[in-house]
Amino acid sequence: MIIDGSKAFSNQTLEVDYCIIGSGSGGAFAASLLSEKGYKVAIIEEGPYQKTSDFKDMRESRAYPELYQELASRKTKNKAVNILQGRNVGGGTTVNWTTCFRTPENTLKYWRDNFDLPFTSDSLAHHFEVCEKRFSISPWEIPPNTNNSLLAKGMSALGREYGHISRNVKDCYNLGYCGVGCPTGAKQSQLVTSIPRALALGAILAPRWRAYRLAHQFGKVSRLEAYNLPGLGNQTGEIKLTIKAREFIVAAGAIGTPALLMRSRISDASGLLGKRTFIHPTVISGAIFEDEVQPYLGAPQSIYSDHYLWQDYGFKLEVPPVHPVLLASTLMQKGDRHRELMLKLNNLQVCIALQRDGFFKDSVGGNVELNSHGEPVLDYEWSEAMGEGFKQALLAMAELQFAAGAKEVLPIHASASTCTSIDQLSRMLDGLSMQALAVKVVAAHVMGGACFGTSEKQSVTNLDGRVWRYHNLSVMDGSLFPTSIAANPMLSILGHTHRIYS
Amino acid sequence: MSVGLIAWRQGVLVPASQQSQKISEFSFLEKRDVVLITALLPALLPFKKWPLEDTALMCQDLDRTISFMTKSTKSEIRQLFDLFHLKPFLWWHGARSLDQISAVDMSKLITSMTSSRLSDFKMAAAALNEIICGVYYANPQTDRELSYAPPLELV
């Protein structure tokens, strides 16, 4: 059953076993696992329920307002970081670039050493295997597109390691429009896997409702109160949906989950709710090649490199798909210079460096706050040391781009200009500020803010995501992680969901 | 600039030239915002001429984009636009008024905001560039200009 808030005209009340808030990797997968066990489940989602057939135009102008938080232009409080987050049935999995990594062993070791978490690669292996099978995650056998192959070529020329990315696709057409919703249904997102499975087993899906507050007393949540979102906009309506349930699972993403718990005044002895929120801050390097790259065609991400990942302020190298609106809103140049770069789109190769976040004393992450409208905002600033990490990342990307044959390289920075050699670029970087709003920083992975742990003084939930002191309230999304994953987090979220709910 | 063909109807601004229903009424933009956008377009997108009809279409796309945003984002954009409606702000940057400012002077104004020590000005300049360029390139008619192969619609 589907109860669409955009078309609702009267208040409604539901009674179920499990109420799940959010339909991304954690929420939708938990919904299907619990439905398989025979529980009555309701999934509430702020975004719309759109299907594969709605994505056939493959247009950014349609996708960003409909499928992303704040039209894909969500920003941190100081406006220095653009955060790409899905907001639709399927969450980030509907619009991500299908990149799948297990949680790196180094990350798990850091968690064991610093947070007393018991997870190892071996202890999680079974859960990852099940998810890989269930969501068709396997190495991408088709040759990478030019954008990706230039990353491989550059790393290879420098004698540095790179690898091939596993993707969650089945019979993929290799189109390159994953970010605007897969038009063929090849991407094994939650939208085409767990959601239909849960619906077939009797789950209720309630899209276009914004979860406002959990009502609770004496450590027990009694109901969720949500309000409709009429039409396509972002304004909350006045029609109310009340869901009474035996158990409540919050899976609204690492900004939405802490925000709902904070709005609901959930007790938190650790003081960590909404704190230590990490984002893999990502810097960008563009390179112009003689031959056409067409960075918008083909599987968006198929090559990566962890060569620099575990050094100080290390970073993972990947490439993004480059479509016009994404490029136009990323470039920091203005006027004629902006246009000049836009006109080079076909010959543009772009690398991104995702910084490891949360592994150092001065890498404390950000805080989720509620503004005067009750909407969440992430207050995030980076340290000087991380800024130096950005510089190293921009240099490393330029080096590999030149090694791959780039004519010109442009670090995405307000004061940067194109360089024709690595020496010139290195000299320019020395003089560039890495402060907020000077260098372009984007993020597509938000983690932390309701971390799991073994003691209620040092974590928001226990190892199973159950909020301390609450009998029937859990968290099941990237909020649980005590640092960033140091890899694209979807498979980590799926793996823990399976660990807890299978 | 001339807003002669833009008129008030039932309290909202509509481009009066568009009798063919191509342009809808604005939900966010005010009359003075249209003056601002008319001044911004030749500075931020200087490679083309901005006849009134194109400006009106751009205003419509911008208004529609903003209408999808959250309350707090809308109020931030309101503050951003209102900044340019403050006379002292324009005078400080050497401009008399928005309807007399040239593209070159507007471009200088935005550049000085970008290099300002005040992070609010930097933020404002970056936001303007991002919004205006994002909305412009979201129009499929710009695909050909970029030699961007538009996606083949799947049947």
Burial A319-332 (b: 16+ CB within 10 A, else e): bbbbbbbbbbbbbb
Using 50, 70 and 90 to split pLDDT, how confident is the model at A283? Answer: very high
Over residues A305-339, the pLDDT tens digits come to 999 999 888 999 999 999 999 999 999 999 999 99
Interface of A with B in 111-150 (CB under 8 A): none
Closest CA to A442 of A496, A478, A393, A403: A393
Residues A353 and A361: their CA atoms lie apart, in Å, by: 21
Mutate to test the interface with B, among A46, A53, A61, A210 (most CBs of B within 10 A): A61
- B24 touches A: beta carbon within 8 Å: no
Total structural domains within chain B? 1
The single-letter DSSP state of residue B2 is: -
Please tell me the predicted confidence (pLDDT) of residue B153. 64
Does the domain at A139-178+282-356+383-435 match CATH 3.40.50? Answer given as: no
Q: Using a CB-CB distance cutoff of 8 angstroms, which residues of chain A are in contact with residue B45? A: 335, 339
Interface of B with A in 25-84 (CB under 8 A): 43-47, 65, 67-73
Kindly state whether residue B96 falls inside one of the protein's structural domains.
Answer: yes
Domain parsing of chain A, residue ranges: 5-69+84-135+188-273+448-501, 139-178+282-356+383-435
Using 50, 70 and 90 to split pLDDT, how confident is the model at B7? Answer: very low
Q: Using a CB-CB distance cutoff of 8 angstroms, which residues of chain B are in contact with residue A323? A: 148
Secondary structure string (H, E, C) spanning A250-274: ECCHHHHHHHHHHHCCCCCCCCCCC
pLDDT higher than threshold 80 for residue B21: no
pLDDT higher than threshold 50 for residue B92: yes
pLDDT higher than threshold 60 for residue B23: no
Mutate to test the interface with B, among A329, A330, A337, A345 (most CBs of B within 10 A): A329
Q: Using a CB-CB distance cutoff of 8 angstroms, which residues of chain A are in contact with residue B140? A: 59, 61
Over residues A19-62, the pLDDT tens digits come to 999 999 999 999 999 999 999 999 999 999 999 999 998 999 99
Residue A392 neighbours by CB under 8 Å, 6+ apart:
A308, A313, A315
How big is chain B, counted in residues? Answer: 155
pLDDT higher than threshold 70 for residue B154: no
Kindly state whether residue B124 falls inside one of the protein's structural domains.
Answer: yes
- Gyration radius (Cα) of chain B, Å: 16
Beta bridge partners of A475: A250
Distance from chain centroid for Cα A223:
28
SS3 A380: coil
pLDDT higher than threshold 80 for residue B2: no
- A52 touches B: beta carbon within 8 Å: no
Contact check, Cβ <8 Å, A296/B148: yes
Helices B31-44, A335-342: crossing angle, 10 deg rounding: 70
Alpha-helical regions (H) of A158-252 = 194-200
Higher pLDDT, A73 or A398: A398
Kindly state whether residue B53 falls inside one of the protein's structural domains.
Answer: yes
Residue B122: which domain range? 6-16+29-139
Does the domain at A5-69+84-135+188-273+448-501 match CATH 3.50.50.60? Answer given as: yes
SS3 A366: strand
* B11: its two tokens: 């309290």
Say whether A139-178+282-356+383-435 and A5-69+84-135+188-273+448-501 share the same fold: no
Over residues A421-452, the pLDDT tens digits come to 999 999 999 999 999 999 999 999 999 999 99
To the nearest whole Å, the CA of A324 is away from the closest chain B CA by 6
Contact check, Cβ <8 Å, B71/A234: yes
* A82: its two tokens: 């653009």
Q: Using a CB-CB distance cutoff of 8 angstroms, which residues of chain A are in contact with residue B126? A: 79, 332, 414, 437
Class of residue A184 by CB neighbours under 10 A (exposed 0-12, middle 13-18, buried 19+): middle
pLDDT higher than threshold 80 for residue B24: no
Give the pLDDT mean for A360-372. Answer: 94
Over residues A469-497, the pLDDT tens digits come to 999 999 999 999 999 999 999 999 999 99
Over residues A84-137, the pLDDT tens digits come to 999 999 999 999 999 999 999 999 999 999 999 999 999 999 999 999 999 999
Using 50, 70 and 90 to split pLDDT, how confident is the model at B6? Answer: very low
